Structure 1
């Protein structure tokens, strides 16, 4: 029996979670109640604002949703009661966050069937492009940045098991904006060493979640790293000041230090506007799927 994160980290766990197929819905599941909570535009904006996994106070969420403090308080109470949010007390302030990655994944899946919001301003256009370049997917990185990091992990033989490309015609259970199940990624022994040099102890990954998991990135139609390793790697990149939060929710930018560090450690080539350079050998990226404004 495996008794360490090193044992768990050698393979992908592909069961459960949003986006899995072939499993019947439980009759006891009250989908209508959850849908009704998300259906309110103000509550939907609050949920999207929290989709990066951070905890925010009520006043910040009210500002993002464009509503008053009293209205925001009422909406937050309903979301907490409906188990979509959790709340924690920090001194005199209450901070709210998504109840877990399943809530974030559900929002991503809804984005696939939701009509796109019209982009009517330069600000919205800039934000849409920024989300494509780099964004958070709950507690890990997505967009071109997340996909480029995944490619670097594969090319440096830190991970093995798949080439990281989503091919809709060959996919069995994988769908965009969902956890993947078709590929079986493994962390190599060389990968343990490489990550240790980056300051990541693979024996101390979060014990109550799959060590290695991936999502099918909805904007790039390629895989990005999720699971315990994805979360720890993302946290490490923030700690090194290689990436920073942007001004808009979920937007992530790469610093100049990060451009150098990611190329040195993972072979990830980034331009100075934080756009991962796509190698000439990379397959064309399908442009189907939701626009950034659908799910952000």
Structure 2
């Protein structure tokens, strides 16, 4: 085997249909029990436990215990980004739809991608940041422009505080709805937290959709679309 990352091992973990369903169910950023993930995968709890052990060994999941319950979540935003990218590739392979991504209009407009906003609204937001040079893009790298600190401070987000995290502040994440990028990283997460804290939108209990109220959408556009 050639030197370098073992792509085949990760691909085999994600490639199993049951495990793929489990991982997708965790894209909402929450944590689920083995029983809940078994339902998502359509397998028995015993079979689910076997799959979860393999995903844990592969470094794709994290595990937290609370009382007698054990909760599984994605190991990192990097894993979430990988899954979102795979969805984008899958949308271009095999039978083609007229439009890529989810059929549900609400999911296309806005949804959660682990801890940040995805969908049409998120892509438009990043496009606006780049057009106004609030953020600067060089290939896959996104950095903060000169106007960034003042812009986000005005809406209650402190970019300098975000730099203290070990995570990237800004990262491009492929949006499989439109096959373009939305904003991830600690800044993307902070923006999503702001949206929820202001009650401009709510998370749908049955899916990854993020539903904006009419007034909330106006406030979101005023704050982040310019």
> TM bucket by the smaller chain?
0.7 to 0.9
Paired with 1:160 and 1:249, the residues of 2 have a C-alpha distance of 30
* Counterpart residue number, 1:186: 144
More strand by share: 2
Unaligned segments of structure 2, at least 5 residues: none
* Counterpart residue number, 1:63: 39
Q: TM-score, normalised by structure 2?
A: 0.81
Paired with 1:158 and 1:239, the residues of 2 have a C-alpha distance of 26
Unaligned segments of structure 1, at least 5 residues: 1-24, 163-172, 175-179, 269-296
Q: Deviations over 1:48-87 (max 9, x none)?
A: 1112332222232222222232322222122112211110
Q: TM-score, normalised by structure 1?
A: 0.64
| Cα distance, 1:262–1:192 mapped onto 2, change above 3 Å | same
Alpha-carbon offset, residue 93 of structure 1: 1.4
More helix by share: 2
Paired with 1:26 and 1:239, the residues of 2 have a C-alpha distance of 48
- Alignment length (residue pairs): 220
Give the number of the structure with larger relative contact order, counting CA–CA contacts within 8 Å between residues 6 or more apart. 1
| Cα distance, 1:28–1:260 mapped onto 2, change above 3 Å | closer
Alpha-carbon offset, residue 142 of structure 1: 1.5
Alpha-carbon offset, residue 111 of structure 1: 3.1
Paired with 1:193 and 1:29, the residues of 2 have a C-alpha distance of 40
Q: Does 1:224 align with 2:182?
A: yes
Which secondary structure state, in structure 1, belongs to the residue aligned with residue 199 of structure 2?
coil
**Would you say the 8 A contact 1:241–1:257 is kept in 2?**
no
* Counterpart residue number, 1:90: 66
Paired with 1:253 and 1:193, the residues of 2 have a C-alpha distance of 28
* Counterpart residue number, 1:236: 194
